[in-house]
Each structure stands twice: as structure tokens, then as C-alpha cells.
Structure 1
Amino acid sequence: MTTPANAPLKSPTGQPTGTAAAEPAAPASGGGAPKVVARQGVLSAVRPDQQPGDGRYPVAWLHISAPGRGAIPTATSRCTCGRDRSAVGHRQVHALIADHTAHRDLCPLRTASQEGRTAA
């Protein structure tokens, strides 16, 4: 199927001759602009938290990634007191887990809150 290079791809439509001005839109029936009615919605208010909590919040995080058999595990231990440690490999991850557990008892942020609880 061969077509000449200058053959039109679509059916030609009639081309207007000369220029014509745009016609104004017909006026809307009813005289004037359409009226917009605002919806009356229900007033919303921020409600108090339904679960107020007991005053506890996270201080230290231990993230362990052990992807599967034959893969090398990694771990990170972070605390809001500024402690940030990481480990790669089985031995180092196990050591970091033990260190993180020991840090929970020695962290100045946790021991300060515990002293207030025992005094009360």
C-alpha cells in the first residue's frame, strides 16, 4: 500500500474564506447572573484526644534488619540522649543488642523519670 507523499491523510474540510468576528453569547434567561446558594454545613470542632495516654513516650529505638539465610544482619541503636550506634554482622549485632539493653538501665533520660516515680 503506497500513497503519494503529498496526499492528505484525512478528508479535506471546507476552509472559511476571509475573517469573521466572534458573536457574543446569548443572554441567560431569567435576567441577571445565576444565584449561588452557599451550603449550610455542620460546624466542626477539634475534639480532645479520646486516648489520653499514660505519660509514657519512646526514648530509645533498636532497629534490627535480618533479611534471611545467608544475608548479613544490621542493627542501629538510637536514643534521644544523643546515643547513636550501628553494627554489621552477627557478632556485632548481638553485642549491640546487649549494649542497647544495658543502656536502657543507664540512660540519664530514663533514670530521671524513674526517680520521680519511685519517690511518688
Structure 2
Amino acid sequence: MSTARTPLLKSLPATTTGPRIADPAPDTSGRGAPKVVGRKAVPIAVRPDQRTGDGRYPIAWLTISAPRGAAPTVTSVCECGRNLFAAGLRKALALIEDHTDHRAHCPLRTDQEGAAA
């Protein structure tokens, strides 16, 4: 029988007493200078929005989910604060009809010029 060897332990490094500045990460590409945005990327970042359109934008959304073999669900959301949910065929159909009716009466869609102050 031989005696068991005791493993050699590495010595711990000396601890510092004050804060140190971290070394920068090594560059993996082999270049020493940091990468700067090229000239081709600058005009793309400052271009005006190309989708000007006619000024219309969506304010109400109707989301219908009807997976096979499961009850359909409907969500009606509008920027005026409306946020309704229905599950089941009968309730889903009623919410779809109500959402269509809401489009005619939503305060964000109706003209407010003729309204009494």
C-alpha cells in the first residue's frame, strides 16, 4: 500500500486594499481601434418617416381567436379606454356586434365640431 498524496494547493493572490480600474476587454478582431459607425448608416438613421400616408391611424382593434375544438374568444380594445373580453360563441358574436356599433359612437372617431360645449 502506498500513502495517499496530498494535492498541491495554489496560493491565493494578494488582495488589494483599494478600488482598481477595470482593464478593457481584449479586441477579438485583431484591430486596436474601436469600431465607429460608417457613413452609410448615418443617413438611414436621420431619414424622415416614409410612411406619411393620409394621416389615418388605427385606434380600435378587434382580436378574434377561434381554435379548433375550443371556445372562441374575442377582445375589443380602443384608445378611448374600451377594453372588453368575451369567451364562448354567443358572447363572442355579441361583442363583435358591439365593437362594430362602438365604431360609430366612439368619441375619438366622431366629429366633435357640432357637439354642444
- Is 1:112–2:97 an aligned residue pair? no
Determine the C-alpha separation between the residues in 2 that align with 1:109 and 1:66. Answer: 29
Deviation, 1:84, is 1.1
Match in the other structure for 1:98: 97
Amino acid across the alignment from 1:100: H
Number of residue pairs aligned between Structure 1 and Structure 2: 84
Gaps (5+ residues) in structure 1?
1-5, 7-34
Amino acid across the alignment from 1:51: R
| Residue 97 to residue 41, structure 1, CA distance change in 2 (3 Å) | closer
Higher helix share: 1
- Is 1:71–2:70 an aligned residue pair? yes
Deviation, 1:40, is 9.4
Q: Give the TM-score of the pair, scaled to structure 2.
A: 0.59
Match in the other structure for 1:48: 48
Aligned-partner SS, 1:63: strand
Aligned-partner SS, 1:110: coil
Name the larger-Rg structure: 1
Gaps (5+ residues) in structure 2?
5-31
